[in-house]
Amino acid sequence: MSRVAYVNGTYQPHGEAVVHVEDRGFQFADGVYEVWSVFDGRLADFDGHMTRLHRSLNELRIDIPMSVAALTRVLRETIRRNRVKNGIVYLQVTRGTARRDHPFPAPGTPPSVIVTAKSISPARGEAQAKKGVAVLTQPDIRWGRCDIKTVGLLPNILAKQAAREAGAYEAWFVDDMGLVTEGSSTNAWIVDEHGKLRTRDTQANILKGCTRTTLMTLIEEQGLELDERPFSVEDVKRAREAFFTAAGAFVTPAISIDGTKIGDGKPGPITLKLRRLYLERARREAI
Ligand code: PLP
């Protein structure tokens, strides 16, 4: 029996059902999902899942894609078309499709909605329940592996959006100790009050930026002093200069943090020099 998936308003053969390459679910994990059990073609714990869905959407400020009645019709129709008597129905709602950029897309961008359903043999579950199953402990690293350049970027896009809504360009994450870790899509740097360059070490839970690595070579070549050591928000406020690095952003001066001017509130000379040197080298060595 061929399976069918609901994708943004139409029912499609499961094997051909696709979302756009720039769907934010695919690009950023910027979406939510629910799963209902299906018993004899009917949805179990219906209200609980629907309520949690709305809560998740509200928390992420993703528009409610359709009324409960309309969504229920889609869930039931997907179950029916897949001839699922017993199994599950899966719903995913993402912030929709837009040119890839961390901040939220323009208001009115329609969320993407996909629904799939699959049969699960009750007999198999019963057999398993009779014997019981084993459990293995694992460290809870949800998500403590920011050293991996994963597409699980939901916290990053929420931070970037918060920055944009506050009139800032980038967000800098701060850890439990009040120390800056990195930017939402960049590495963070200061020229501290003593004139020393500082950026956090990569033993910490941050992405080891390639721009950061190249810049460190340039800094050494220039005979500038670099301290790979975390700095606090207070350190940033006292710093002479601040900037952030990433592919695309290169070396971008930060002139204020949380509304407080950094240095004299203008891009600093070391930052601008490093930007120039970085751009020269990157251009020259690009292959
Ligand atoms: N930190 C985070 C969280 C990033 O997403 C990025 C780039 O996307 C960076 C740092 C900078 O990395 P790179 O210089 O390799 O672009």
Q: What pLDDT, on the 0 to 100 scale, is given for residue 124? A: 93
User: Cα 88 from chain centroid?
Assistant: 27
Q: What pLDDT, on the 0 to 100 scale, is given for residue 149? A: 95
| Residue ID of nearest Cα to ligand 1 atom 5 | 185
Compute the distance from residue 149 Cα to the ligand 1 centre, in Å: 8
Of 186, 201, 210, 213, the one to substitute when testing ligand 1's pocket (max ligand atoms within 8 A of C-beta) is 186
Q: What pLDDT, on the 0 to 100 scale, is given for residue 261? A: 98
| Residue ID of nearest Cα to ligand 1 atom 4 | 185
Q: Which atom of ligand 1 is nearest to the CA of 149?
A: 5
The fold of 4-120 is D-amino Acid Aminotransferase; Chain A, domain 1 (3.30.470)
CB 88 within 8 A of CB 120: yes
The CATH homologous superfamily to which domain 125-285 belongs is D-amino Acid Aminotransferase, subunit A, domain 2 (3.20.10.10)
Q: What pLDDT, on the 0 to 100 scale, is given for residue 253? A: 98
Three-state SS letters, the chain: CCCEEEECCEEEEHHHCCCCCCEHHHHHCCEEEEEEEEECCEECCHHHHHHHHHHHHHHHCCCCCCCHHHHHHHHHHHHHHCCCCCEEEEEEEECCECCCCCCCCCCCCCCEEEEEEEECCHHHHHHHHHHCCCCCCCCCCCCCCCCCCCCCCHHHHHHHHHHHHCCCCCCEEECCCCEEEEECCCEEEEECCCCCEEECCCCCCCCCCHHHHHHHHHHHHCCCCEEECCCEHHHHHHCCEEEEEECCCEEEECCEECCEECCCCCCCHHHHHHHHHHHHHHHHHCC
Compute the distance from residue 247 Cα to the ligand 1 centre, in Å: 7
| Residue ID of nearest Cα to ligand 1 atom 9 | 186
Q: What pLDDT, on the 0 to 100 scale, is given for residue 182? A: 98
CB 181 within 8 A of CB 208: no
Question: At residue 266, what is the residue type?
Answer: K
Average pLDDT over residues 34-60: 97
Q: Which atom of ligand 1 is nearest to the CA of 248?
A: 16
Residue range 195-252, pLDDT digits in tens: 999 999 998 789 999 999 999 999 999 999 999 999 999 999 999 999 999 999 999 9
Q: pLDDT tier at 10 (50, 70, 90 boundaries)?
A: very high
List the domain boundaries for the chain. Answer: 4-120, 125-285
**If phi over 0 gives left and psi between -120 and 50 gives alpha, with beta otherwise, what is residue 57?**
alpha
Q: pLDDT tier at 58 (50, 70, 90 boundaries)?
A: very high
Compute the distance from residue 101 Cα to the ligand 1 centre, in Å: 13
Would you say the CATH fold of 125-285 matches that of 4-120? no
The residues annotated as belonging to the active site are: 149
Compute the distance from residue 188 Cα to the ligand 1 centre, in Å: 10
How many of the other CB atoms lie within 10 Å of CB of 30? 26
CB 71 within 8 A of CB 123: no
Q: What are the angstrom distances between the C-alpha of 212 and each of 39, 56, 71, 191?
A: 54, 35, 47, 14
Q: What pLDDT, on the 0 to 100 scale, is given for residue 141? A: 87
Q: What pLDDT, on the 0 to 100 scale, is given for residue 204? A: 79
| Residue ID of nearest Cα to ligand 1 atom 7 | 185
**pLDDT > 80? residue 1:** no
User: Could you give the angle at the alpha carbon of 274 between the alpha carbons of 272 and 279, nearest 5°?
Assistant: 95
CA distance 216 to 147: 18
Of 158, 185, 212, 244, the one to substitute when testing ligand 1's pocket (max ligand atoms within 8 A of C-beta) is 185
**If phi over 0 gives left and psi between -120 and 50 gives alpha, with beta otherwise, what is residue 133?**
beta
CB 204 within 8 A of CB 173: no
Q: Which atom of ligand 1 is nearest to the CA of 249?
A: 16
CA distance 209 to 186: 8
Residue range 109-139, pLDDT digits in tens: 999 999 999 999 999 999 999 999 999 999 9
Q: Which atom of ligand 1 is nearest to the CA of 212?
A: 14
Compute the distance from residue 93 Cα to the ligand 1 centre, in Å: 27
Residue 38 CB partners (closer than 8 Å, separation 6+): 44, 79, 84, 85, 86, 87, 88, 89, 117
Residue range 16-30, pLDDT digits in tens: 999 999 999 999 999
Compute the distance from residue 246 Cα to the ligand 1 centre, in Å: 5
Mean pLDDT of the chain: 97
Q: pLDDT tier at 183 (50, 70, 90 boundaries)?
A: very high
Q: Which atom of ligand 1 is nearest to the CA of 247?
A: 16
